[in-house]
C-alpha cells in the first residue's frame, strides 16, 4: 500500500507522505512555501489551506476533505477565537490521511487588514528574506547559567532550525525586558537573504506577532512610487507616489549630475531631498495601511543609476562622463537606518543591481518583472525617460543598452510641451481631408469636438501638449500628409488649411487656438525625430547583437509607456514593427520587480544572476549607431519595414519634399 | 629524488615542496601563519623569514641559505628602499631549492614602529580576524560596465580568494575616490572572524597600507587596562590604564547595580562613564604608540558580568538577584561605533563570552590565557575582587564558580584599610617573641626598621593598610600567636606587649603609631575570615565537583593576585594547600586573554568552546557550601590539611581561646 499522494496547487509540486504527516510539514518538504509564524501551535492562522474535492484523473487520485484528519481542539480553538473561513484548514494541524489536492491560497488575510488592490497587483510565490518565528523560551535557571539571549537562540534553533543566529546589536540591551514582557513567549524576526549568509535576529516582539511589512519603491527621476506589502500574506496594503523633490536641482538626470559637480554640497542636498521624500512616502503608506513604521522590517529599492547613487549617498559625477563608472553595480544591502530611513531599528534595505552606467536597477527590476530571460520569445522592454533603458532578449541571451533620447518625450524642448497634468493635450486625431484636429485634454471627459468640451475645459484650460499628445499629433500629422516621411512640414498645404502657418523658412501646424496658441513647429518635429531616432537606433543595435530583424513582444515601461498609444509610437518608428496586440504597457515594471524581491528572496538571486549574464552594449562605442540613427530619422524609418503596422494603418504615400533623397524609394520597397 | 623538506620554526610544522615553491606558499600550505599584505609583490616586507644554517640530525637534513633562490630584483629593490635586516629574506620571493629549516620571526618590525614591551608580554601565533590585502584593480571600461566596487571585489577574489565579499556600507560612497587616489592600487582591510561567516570589507586605503592595529582591554570594576597591538606583527606598541570612573556611582559591583535600580538614568550614566574612560584610553595608547585612531581596526574586550553589561549598554539589574540572568552569555560582536567607541568606521568589537551570572568574560579571558583546559594538571585559577571568580580544571573538565568575598580584601570594611596607593602598608613581619612589627609602605624603599625609613616615608606618610598588607598582618599575627586559629586576638598577650590593646570585650593589635594610629581590630580579623572563608568554600565546592582533594597549580589573577604573597595567602587558608613554587601570580590574565583573541581568531573559537563546556556551579545552591564555609573560618582551616605549607612555615601550636571547640583537635590530626 503506497503512502498517500499530495499535490499542492498552484505550484503542482507533489509527493507521497506517510499517513499522519501534517500538511504543513509535507509542504515544507516539497519546498512549497506556506507561511507560519506560531511554529505549528495553531495560533497564528497563517498556514491556511483548502482541499479540492473530486477525482483527478490526470493524477489518478480522489481528493476529499475526509482525507484530512478531523478538526482537533487547537484548530477548533483558533476557529472559535479568530474564525477560520469556510473550507479552510490550518495546515500545521491537519494531518494527511489519504490522497489530497491542496490549494495554497495566496491571499490569507489575518486581522482583517486593510487591502488596497493596486492596478498592477500581481500575486507572487512568497519566500521573504524576513520571517516571523514565535518561540517559547526557557526561563533562567541558576543551574544552567546561559544568558537570556542564548536561551532564545537555543529555542529558535530547536523550533525553527536557525542554528547559531547572529543578532543585531541593538536588540541585546532589550532582550531581557522583551522576554519578560512576553512572559518568555516572543516572536523573533529573522532576516536571511542569501543561502550562504548567517541568519540574523533583527527584531523581537513580546508574545505572538502575527504581521510584518515591507516596502518596495521605485525612485524615478520625476516620480517616486512606493508600495507597502505584508511580508506574510504578500498583499499590498497601501501605495503612494510623489514627485521627486530633486527636480528643484535639475529637471533631467544630467542637470542633476551637473549640480553635484558645481556645488560642493550638491550631492548631500540631493541625497537628503530624496530621503526626505521617501520618509514622507513611508509615513503616507503607513497611515493609509494602518501600519506602524516600526512594523516595516524589510525594504527594496530600484532606480536608475543616478537616482541609485544619490539615494545611497554616492557622488554620481563619474556617471556624467565616459567611461560612466558606477561606484557599485552589484546588489547593495544595508540597514535602512544607515541610509536615513528609520523604520524598525532592524529593518534591512536591498537595492537591486544596476546593469550598466546608464541602465540601472530600475531596468533590472523591469527585467525581473517582465522576464524576457524566462521566455523563448524575443522580447523588447523599453523604459523611456531622458535616457531610454532598453532590454532585449529571451531565455538564451539578454542584451541591454541605454539611448540618450533627451527630454523631448517628456515635453521639454517642445514649443508647446508640458508635463502630463490637467490641461495638457494627451490624445490627437487629424482629419486627413480637412486637416482639422480634435483632441482630448487631461482632466476632461469629452473630446474637443464633443458637446460640453468648452465648458468642461474651462476649469483646466488647454495649456500645452504632454508626451503622449506630442507622439500622437506628430504621428497624425504624418498620417494626414502634413509632414513628409523626412519630417518636413508641407508648406504647400497652407493653401488648403489655415492651420498650416509659416514661420520664416519653415511651417508649423496650429493644434489649438484658444487662450494659448498651441502649435507644432518644424523644430518640435525635429526634436521628436532626434529622440525617437536615438531610441530606435539603440533598439536596432540590440537587435543586431541578437541577430534578429523582428521582435515578438514589446513591453513599454513607465508612465510614458502607460499613456502612449503603441500604434502611434510605431507610426513614428519609435519602436520596431511588431504585432500591435503584442505591444503592451507594463506599467511600473521596475516597481513590480522591487515588490517581487521584497516578497521572495529567490527573485533577488534571479535578477543578480540575470544581470551578471546580461550583455551590456555601450551605444556610443558601436560603429553602426550612426547609421541606424540616420535611417531612424525618417517616419517610421528609412530602411526598416513595418509590415504589421501597415496591416492596420494606412501609411501615407511617400512625399518628396525639400531635401528628400532617393533613399525613400528603397524604403518603400522594403515596406511592401 | 624526493622534494626538499622544509621545517618551519617555532611551530615545527614540516612538509616537502617542489623545487621553486615560494617559501610563503609552503608556509600557507602547512598552515604556518606568515603575514603578507602586498600579495607577494615584495613591497610590504611583512613576510620576512630567516634560515637556520647547519645539519639537523633529528630531521636528517642540512639547512643552508644556499637552499633558497638568490635575491632577485624585487627583493633587492625592497632591501634598497626599506632595508632588509641581516639574514632576513622575503618569503614571497625566496624560492625553495633544497632542504630548509625556516625561522618565522614573531617580531618583524616595519617602519621602525615604537615598541613598548609590557611586563606580561607574551608572543602568540597570529591569525587575526582582520587582514590587510593589497590589490591592483582593473580600471573602468565601457565595454565591461562592472562598478568600481565590483571590480575591486573581483581583484580581491582573484588575488586573495575572498569570493563575493560583503562590504561595509560606509565604504560604498567612498570607494570611487579611494580607488582613484590610489591610482587603482589599494589595500583592503578584510574582517572575517568565524569560518562560516562571509568575509567583509571594512576599510579601504589608497596604495599599500602596511599596518593595522587593534586594542585589547580588560574593564575591571576598579581599573581599566588597555593594550594597543599591531595586528600584523603582534607587537604591543602601547599600554595604558585608568581607574574606572564608575567608582563615583558605587565602589563595588553591587552598589553599582543598586545605583541603576534607584536612578532612572543610572544605567546610561554608567555606560557613558565607562565608554568615556575607554575613549580616553584609546587616545592615550594612540598617542603613546604614535598611531592614528582610524588605524585601529579591531578590538577585544573582557570584563566581569556587570562591567560587561554596563559597557554594552545593558541594564545589569537582573544580575543583582537570583537567578542572576545574564542578558547574553555568548560572545558579542558589534561595530565599535555602535557602542560609542569611534575609531575607524569599520572597526569591529569582539567581547568574550561570560561563563555565568557572576563569572564573567574576564574569567573567560583568564582561562584562555592560563589554559587549565589545555593541561593535564589540576589547575586552580582565582581572580579576587568583590566577587572572587574561581575556575578549576584540566583538559578533561573545567568547573567554575564565583564566591561573594565582599570588599574586605580591597581594604574596605577594614578599620585601617585603604586602596593600594603610596603610604599604604603592603608588607608586614611580626617578631613572634617581641610581637614588634616591621613593615613596608608603598612608595618607600626601606622597611620600617631600616635606616632612612622615617625620612623616606615623610613624603607619603603611613596612611593605612592595603589588601596585601592586611593578608600579611593577619597571617603574621596568627604565626606569632597573637590570634588563635579561630581568629580571636589573644588578650592575655597584653601583658607581654603594649601593642595588644583592649577595646571593650575584644582586643586589637597596634601595627603603627604615627600621625595615624593603625590597628588591626577583632572586627578586621573577622571581616578577613569571612571573606577568605567564602573564597575557600567556593574553591572546595569546585574541588568536590572535580573529585579532588589537592590542586597541582594555582594561578592568582588580577592586581590583588600580583601583590599578595602566596605563602601568606595559604597561611590564612585563602587558597588550598599546594606546592608554593607552583602558586603564581598571573597578572592581568584576563587582559592577556583579550589580547590573544585580538591577535588570533582561533583563540576566540577556543574560549567559546571552552566556556560552553565549563560546568558552572552556583555556590548559593550547593548544600555543602555552608559546611565548607564554617570549616574555612578557621586559620588556615578547621578540617583541611596544609602539608606543603607546613613543610616551609612553622604553623603555630593550637591555642584554645574563648569559644574554641573540639573540632580543632580533629584538624590537627588531619594536618599531620
Per the CB < 8 A criterion, the answer to whether A499 and A435 are in contact is yes
Top-confidence residue, B113 or A416:
A416
User: Taking each helix axis from N to C terminus, what angle separates B467-479 and B522-546, rounded to the nearest 10 degrees?
Assistant: 90
Residue located via cell numbers 496650429: A510
The reply to whether residue A327 touches residue B618, judged by beta carbons under 8 angstroms, is no
Residue B474 host element (H or E) = helix B467-479
Average pLDDT over residues B393-411: 89
Distance (Å, rounded) from C-alpha A648 to C-alpha B475? 112
Average pLDDT over residues B423-432: 95
Per the CB < 8 A criterion, the answer to whether B121 and B599 are in contact is no
Q: Residue B665: which residues within 8 A CB-CB, separation 6 or more?
A: B654
pLDDT bin (cut points 50, 70, 90) of residue A656 is: low
Distances (CA, A) of B384 to A271, B306, B441, B469, B575: 55, 15, 22, 15, 11
The reply to whether residue B173 touches residue A339, judged by beta carbons under 8 angstroms, is no
For chain A, give the percent of residues with pLDDT over 70: 95
pLDDT at B109: 53
pLDDT at B119: 39
Buried-exposed string B264-288: b where 16+ CB fall within 10 A, e elsewhere:
eebbebbbbbbbebbeebbebbbee
Per the CB < 8 A criterion, the answer to whether B416 and B424 are in contact is no
Per the CB < 8 A criterion, the answer to whether A50 and A66 are in contact is no
Give chain B's largest Cα–Cα span: 104
Beta bridge partners of A500: A509
Top-confidence residue, A633 or A221:
A633
Distance (Å, rounded) from C-alpha A402 to C-alpha B555? 71
- Kind of pairing between the strands at A379-383 and A388-393: antiparallel
Q: B148: nearest CA in chain A?
A: A327
CA distance B161 to chain A (A): 16
pLDDT bin (cut points 50, 70, 90) of residue A149 is: very high
pLDDT at A659: 46
Distance (Å, rounded) from C-alpha B26 to C-alpha B29? 5
Interval B606-641: pLDDT, tens: 999 999 999 999 888 889 999 999 999 999 999 999
Per the CB < 8 A criterion, the answer to whether A490 and A635 are in contact is no
The reply to whether residue A324 touches residue B142, judged by beta carbons under 8 angstroms, is yes
pLDDT at A31: 86
The sign of the dihedral angle between the CA atoms of A143, A147, A152, A153 is negative
Distance (Å, rounded) from C-alpha B389 to C-alpha B548? 19
Average pLDDT over residues B440-447: 94
Interval A52-74: pLDDT, tens: 999 999 889 999 999 999 999 99
pLDDT higher than 70, residue A663? no
**Which of A 168-207 lie inside 8 A of B, CB atoms?**
169-170, 172-173, 175-177, 196-198
Other beta carbons within 10 angstroms of residue A268's beta carbon come to 14
Measure CB to CB from residue B318 to each of A176, A197, A338 and give the nearest one: A176
pLDDT higher than 60, residue B658? no
Top-confidence residue, B154 or A516:
B154
pLDDT higher than 70, residue A198? yes
Q: Which of A74-88, A419-433, A642-656, B229-243 has the lowest mean pLDDT?
A: A642-656
- Kind of pairing between the strands at B13-16 and B5-9: antiparallel
The three cell numbers locating residue B641: 590539611
pLDDT at A117: 41
Question: Over B191-232, what HEC string results?
Answer: ECCCCCCCCEEEEEEECCCCCCEEEEEEECCCEEEEEEEECC
Average pLDDT over residues A11-37: 92
Per the CB < 8 A criterion, the answer to whether A296 and A286 are in contact is yes
What is the value of pTM for the model shown? 0.89
pLDDT higher than 60, residue B259? yes
The sign of the dihedral angle between the CA atoms of A318, A323, A327, A331 is positive
Q: Does B163 touch chain A (CB under 8 A)?
A: no
pLDDT at A33: 85
Interval A529-571: pLDDT, tens: 999 999 999 999 999 999 999 999 999 998 788 888 999 999 9
Q: Does A140 touch chain B (CB under 8 A)?
A: yes
The reply to whether residue A142 touches residue B618, judged by beta carbons under 8 angstroms, is yes
- From chain B, pick out residues whose CB is under 8 angstroms from the CB of A144: 616
Residue located via cell numbers 606568515: B34
Average pLDDT over residues A4-18: 92
Highest mean pLDDT among B5-14, B264-273, B458-467, B552-561: B264-273
Q: B174: nearest CA in chain A?
A: A314
pLDDT at A125: 78
**Which of B 336-395 lie inside 8 A of A, CB atoms?**
338-339, 354-357
pLDDT higher than 70, residue A660? no
Distance (Å, rounded) from C-alpha B17 to C-alpha B25? 10
pLDDT at B104: 87
The three cell numbers locating residue B253: 559591583
pLDDT at A387: 81
Average pLDDT, chain B: 91
Start-to-end C-alpha separation, chain A = 68
Other beta carbons within 10 angstroms of residue A83's beta carbon come to 10
Beta bridge partners of B133: B188
Per the CB < 8 A criterion, the answer to whether A260 and A270 are in contact is yes
Q: Does B410 touch chain A (CB under 8 A)?
A: no
pLDDT higher than 70, residue A661? no
Number of A to B CB contacts under 8 A, please give it.
Answer: 153
Distance (Å, rounded) from C-alpha B570 to C-alpha B562? 15
Top-confidence residue, B249 or B126:
B249
pLDDT higher than 50, residue A508? yes
pLDDT at A339: 98
Average pLDDT over residues B440-461: 93
- Residue B400: name the closest of B411, B392, B410, B388 by CA: B392
Distances (CA, A) of A227 to A108, A194, A215: 19, 23, 6
Phi then psi for B186, rounded to 5 degrees?
-140, 160
Interval A286-335: pLDDT, tens: 999 999 999 999 999 999 999 999 999 999 999 998 899 999 999 999 99
pLDDT higher than 70, residue B471? yes
Measure CB to CB from residue B327 to each of A141, A147, A170 and give the nearest one: A147
pLDDT bin (cut points 50, 70, 90) of residue A669 is: very low
pLDDT bin (cut points 50, 70, 90) of residue A657 is: low
This model of the complex carries an ipTM of 0.89
- Residue A637: name the closest of A577, A580, A581 by CA: A577
Question: What is the torsion angle, in degrees rounded to the nearest 10, for the CA atoms of residue B554, residue B557, residue B560 and residue B565?
Answer: 30
**Which of B 479-538 lie inside 8 A of A, CB atoms?**
none
Distance (Å, rounded) from C-alpha B489 to C-alpha B500? 8
Q: What DSSP assignment string belongs to A283-299?
A: HHHHHHHT--GGGEEEE
Q: Which domains does chain B have, with CATH numbers?
A: 5-103 (3.10.20.30), 130-206 (3.10.20.880), 215-364 (3.30.420.480), 369-407+527-671 (no CATH), 416-517 (no CATH)
Distance (Å, rounded) from C-alpha B348 to C-alpha B345? 9
The reply to whether residue B146 touches residue A329, judged by beta carbons under 8 angstroms, is yes
Distance (Å, rounded) from C-alpha B150 to C-alpha A301? 19
Distance (Å, rounded) from C-alpha A244 to C-alpha A221? 6
Residue A253 host element (H or E) = helix A253-262
Starting at the edge strand found earlier in the chain, the sheet holding B185-191 runs B130-136, B185-191, B200-206, B166-167
Per the CB < 8 A criterion, the answer to whether B634 and B487 are in contact is yes
Average pLDDT over residues B658-666: 42
Residue A242 host element (H or E) = strand A236-243
- What B619-624 contacts at long range (C-beta under 8 Å, 24+ apart), as own/partner pairs, is B619/B401, B619/B402, B619/B403, B619/B404, B619/B537, B619/B538, B619/B541, B620/A142, B620/B322, B621/A142, B621/A143, B622/B541, B624/B540, B624/B541, B624/B544
What is the Cα gyration radius of chain A? 29
Phi then psi for A367, rounded to 5 degrees?
-60, -45
Q: Which of B209-223, B454-468, B502-516, B651-665 has the lowest mean pLDDT?
A: B651-665
Residue located via cell numbers 574561581: B390
pLDDT bin (cut points 50, 70, 90) of residue A110 is: low
Distance (Å, rounded) from C-alpha A103 to C-alpha B122? 66
The three cell numbers locating residue B394: 584540566
Question: Over B240-273, what HEC string results?
Answer: EEEECHHHHHCCCHHHHHHHHHHCCCHHHHHHHH
Which three-class secondary structure state does DSSP give residue A229? Answer: strand
pLDDT bin (cut points 50, 70, 90) of residue A667 is: very low
Q: Does B327 touch chain A (CB under 8 A)?
A: yes
Average pLDDT, chain A: 91
Q: Residue A109: which residues within 8 A CB-CB, separation 6 or more?
A: A115, A233, A235
Give chain A's largest Cα–Cα span: 104
Amino acid at each position: 500500500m503506497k503512502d498517500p499522494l499530495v499535490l499542492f496547487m498552484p505550484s503542482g509540486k507533489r509527493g507521497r507522505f506517510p499517513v499522519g504527516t501534517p500538511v504543513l510539514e509535507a509542504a515544507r518538504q516539497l519546498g512549497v512555501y506556506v507561511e507560519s509564524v506560531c511554529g505549528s501551535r495553531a495560533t497564528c492562522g497563517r498556514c491556511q489551506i483548502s482541499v479540492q474535492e473530486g477525482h483527478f484523473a490526470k493524477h489518478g487520485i480522489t481528493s476529499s476533505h475526509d482525507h484530512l484528519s478531523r478538526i482537533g481542539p487547537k484548530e477548533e480553538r483558533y476557529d472559535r477565537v479568530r474564525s477560520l473561513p469556510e473550507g479552510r484548514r490550518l495546515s500545521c494541524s491537519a494531518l494527511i490521511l489519504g490522497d489530497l489536492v491542496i490549494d495554497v491560497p495566496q491571499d490569507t488575510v489575518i486581522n482583517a487588514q486593510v487591502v488596497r488592490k493596486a492596478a498592477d497587483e500581481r500575486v507572487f510565490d512568497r519566500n521573504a528574506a524576513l520571517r516571523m518565528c514565535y518561540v517559547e523560551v526557557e526561563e533562567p535557571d541558576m543551574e544552567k547559567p546561559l544568558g537570556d539571549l542564548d536561551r532564545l537562540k537555543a529555542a529558535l534553533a530547536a523550533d525553527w532550525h536557525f542554528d547559531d543566529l547572529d543578532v543585531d546589536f541593538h536588540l541585546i540591551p532589550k532582550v531581557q525586558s522583551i522576554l519578560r514582557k512576553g512572559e518568555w513567549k516572543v516572536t523573533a524576526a529573522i532576516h536571511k537573504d542569501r543561502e550562504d549568509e548567517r541568519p540574523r535576529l533583527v527584531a523581537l516582539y513580546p508574545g505572538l506577532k502575527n504581521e510584518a511589512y515591507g516596502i518596495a519603491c521605485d525612485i524615478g527621476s520625476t516620480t517616486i512610487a512606493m508600495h507597502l506589502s505584508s511580508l506574510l500574506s504578500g498583499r499590498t496594503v497601501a501605495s503612494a507616489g510623489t514627485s521627486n523633490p530633486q527636480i528643484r536641482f535639475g529637471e533631467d538626470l544630467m542637470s542633476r549630475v551637473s549640480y553635484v559637480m558645481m556645488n560642493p554640497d550638491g550631492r548631500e542636498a540631493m541625497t537628503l531631498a530624496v530621503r526626505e521624500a521617501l520618509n514622507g512616502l513611508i509615513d503616507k503608506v503607513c497611515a493609509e495601511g494602518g501600519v506602524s513604521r516600526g512594523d516595516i522590517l524589510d525594504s527594496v529599492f530600484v532606480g536608475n543609476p543616478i537616482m541609485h547613487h544619490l539615494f545611497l549617498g554616492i557622488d554620481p559625477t563619474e556617471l556624467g562622463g565616459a567611461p560612466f563608472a558606477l561606484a557599485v553595480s552589484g546588489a547593495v544591502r544595508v540597514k535602512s537606518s544607515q541610509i536615513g530611513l528609520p523604520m524598525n531599528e532592524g529593518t534591512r534595505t536591498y537595492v537591486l543591481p544596476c546593469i550598466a552606467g546608464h541602465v540601472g536597477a530600475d531596468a533590472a527590476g523591469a527585467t525581473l518583472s517582465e522576464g524576457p530571460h524566462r521566455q523563448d520569445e524575443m522580447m523588447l522592454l523599453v523604459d523611456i525617460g531622458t535616457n531610454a533603458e532598453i532590454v532585449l532578449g529571451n531565455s538564451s541571451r539578454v542584451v541591454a543598452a541605454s539611448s540618450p533620447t533627451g527630454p523631448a518625450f517628456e515635453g521639454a524642448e517642445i514649443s508647446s510641451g508640458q508635463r502630463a497634468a490637467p490641461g495638457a493635450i494627451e490624445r490627437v486625431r487629424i482629419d486627413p481631408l480637412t486637416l482639422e484636429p480634435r483632441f482630448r485634454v487631461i482632466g476632461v471627459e469629452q473630446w474637443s469636438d464633443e458637446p460640453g468640451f468648452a465648458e468642461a475645459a474651462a476649469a483646466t484650460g488647454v495649456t500645452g501638449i504632454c508626451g503622449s499628445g506630442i507622439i500622437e499629433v506628430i504621428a497624425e500629422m504624418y498620417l494626414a500628409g502634413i509632414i513628409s516621411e523626412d519630417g518636413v512640414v508641407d508648406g504647400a498645404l497652407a493653401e488648403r488649411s489655415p492651420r498650416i502657418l509659416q514661420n520664416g523658412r519653415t511651417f508649423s501646424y496650429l493644434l489649438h487656438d484658444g487662450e494659448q496658441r498651441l502649435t507644432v513647429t518644424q523644430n518640435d518635429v525635429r526634436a521628436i525625430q532626434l529622440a525617437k531616432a536615438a531610441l530606435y537606433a539603440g533598439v536596432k543595435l540590440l537587435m543586431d547583437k541578437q541577430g534578429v530583424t523582428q521582435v515578438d513582444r514589446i513591453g513599454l515601461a513607465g508612465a510614458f509607456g502607460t499613456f502612449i498609444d503603441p500604434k502611434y509610437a510605431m507610426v513614428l518608428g519609435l519602436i520596431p514593427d511588431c504585432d500591435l496586440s503584442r505591444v503592451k504597457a507594463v506599467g511600473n515594471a521596475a516597481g513590480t520587480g522591487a515588490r517581487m524581491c521584497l516578497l521572495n528572496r529567490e527573485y533577488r538571486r534571479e535578477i543578480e544572476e540575470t544581470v551578471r549574464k546580461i550583455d551590456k552594449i555601450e551605444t556610443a562605442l558601436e560603429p553602426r549607431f550612426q547609421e541606424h540613427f540616420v535611417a531612424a530619422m525618417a517616419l517610421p524609418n528609412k530602411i526598416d519595414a513595418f509590415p504589421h503596422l501597415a496591416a492596420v494603418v494606412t501609411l501615407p504615400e511617400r512625399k518628396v519634399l525639400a531635401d528628400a533623397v532617393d533613399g525613400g524609394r528603397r524604403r518603400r520597397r522594403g515596406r511592401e
